[in-house]
Amino acid sequence: MKDRTETLLTGFMDDIASHHRGETEFLQAVEEVARDVLTIEKADRHYTQARVLARLAEADRIISFRVTWRDDAGQVQINRGWRVQQSNLLGPYKGGLRWAASVTPSVLKFLAFEQAFKNALTGLPLGAAKGGADFDPTGRSEAEIERFASAFMTELGPHIGPERDVPAGDIGVGAREVGLMSRAWMQQARRWGGALTGKPTALGGSAMRAEATGYGLIYFTEAMLAENDMTLEGQRIALSGRGNVSSHAARKAMRLGAKVITLSGRAGTWHAPDGFTPDALDWVLNAAGEAAQTPPAELNIEFHHDQTPWRFGPDIALPCATQNEVTLDDAKALADSGCMYLAEGANMPLTSQAEAHLSQAGVIQAPGKAANAGGVAVSGLEMQQNAGFASWDAEKVDRRLRRIMCDIHSLLKRERASCCTASGGVDYRRAANVAGYRRLADAMIAGGTM
């Protein structure tokens, strides 16, 4: 059986690789799904004939464009921008925009592919897309960001709209940037409309959108723990990053009684051996530049240069920074120090080797497709509010977010029969791939060959 799966996988991946040469992140993401779903495809005549996975792996289209803008010194700057419109099987194309120096077509293609499965799991009518630019906003002035946002929208604007493609934020793109792009689109289109989500609430954004990914991650983690009659109370949590996802996840986890022991940035890791206090957390989230590396003694935080957060003996690891941040060495450190759970706030934060090691070590893992779906889920709720010219209060949005995360958990549990770990628990990674695949495959079959 294992040999048959490997043969199927090799044949499938050779074909994909021949069309996407050198796109390592994209091939990694496709292989992780293919490993879990190819046997399911093979066992179903309709899925096999429709070549579901091979079709899902190819984006509907990729729009690529130049972004030309002027910096504060008057110099002309040139960046590259893309929008990968992956699939509109389940709803309008939907997914964030990332502005970072590391953005490449391969990175955006992997993110768009993963987004299709994530969005399917939410149960909301959301297709999938991802986009962005190789533009690093760090250190840029407000005026530069505004000029870049406007130039970026000049190119992207004609391809988006509330029923067509609805971008949002991601790394380097927060509510402010979304607000600028949203206004630019409205001016171009000469209409009001929710063509982007994650807008500032003053411009039609949803309550709780900023908190959604981090809170959703914690709600999913709570549901996983509850399977073993555990709660977050007293658990030692290592988080990476200190951006939108990790900051809100940290706050929520602390409010629920967990001890958050790490956060991280480009230069290293902040470690609070007894758990961050709210003051210490605020300090780390707000500290900038070199000064951030020398926390005041009274806060009981240590800064470790060039260290990742995975060597400090957590019970639960929540990687929330970026793709492939957890290496095999990190995975070994986590497993050796007794980490029991890992849930992904970032997209594909584990290398394939790290993932295999943690699975073998019996660490229960929730993939980003499920665990960080809260962000796009509240984007879906923002689309509903905009379409209905309504605005819901934070309590209502939070209740719906929590329900969606619990429903995703229940959906994955229902795949237990074919998706279980060696110890009999739910294999959440496999279950997320299989459940997302089924939703997409059934929509594809219902729509014929197009």
Q: Which is nearer to ligand GLU, 119 or 235 (CB)?
A: 119
Coil, strand, or helix at residue 73? coil
CB 189 within 8 A of CB 116: no
CB 200 within 8 A of CB 180: no
The residues of the shown chain that bind ligand GLU, judged by CB under 6 A, are 94-96, 168, 170, 197-198, 347, 375-376, 379
Shortest separation between residue 83's beta carbon and ligand GLU, angstroms: 12
- Locate all alpha helices (DSSP H) within 269-323, ordered by sequence: 278-286
Shortest separation between residue 412's beta carbon and ligand GLU, angstroms: 17
Shortest separation between residue 72's beta carbon and ligand GLU, angstroms: 28
Shortest separation between residue 376's beta carbon and ligand GLU, angstroms: 4
Tokens of 290: 């070199």
CB 338 within 8 A of CB 361: no
Tokens of 143: 């005026």
Q: Which is nearer to ligand GLU, 196 or 254 (CB)?
A: 196
CB count, 10 Å around CB of 379?
31
Q: Which is nearer to ligand GLU, 95 or 295 (CB)?
A: 95
Q: Which is nearer to ligand GLU, 238 or 348 (CB)?
A: 348
> Which uninterrupted H or E stretch holds 223?
helix 209-226
Q: Cα torsion for 359, 226, 380, 40, to the nearest 10°?
A: 40
Tokens of 3: 């040999």
Shortest separation between residue 369's beta carbon and ligand GLU, angstroms: 9
Q: Among all residues, whose Cβ is closest to ligand GLU?
A: 96
Max Cα distance, the chain (Å): 65
Q: Which is nearer to ligand GLU, 94 or 109 (CB)?
A: 94
Tokens of 245: 């996802």
Q: Indicate which residues carry an active-site annotation.
A: 130
367/344 Cα distance (integer angstroms)? 5
Q: Is the dihedral of CA 308, 368, 93, 50 positive or negative?
A: positive
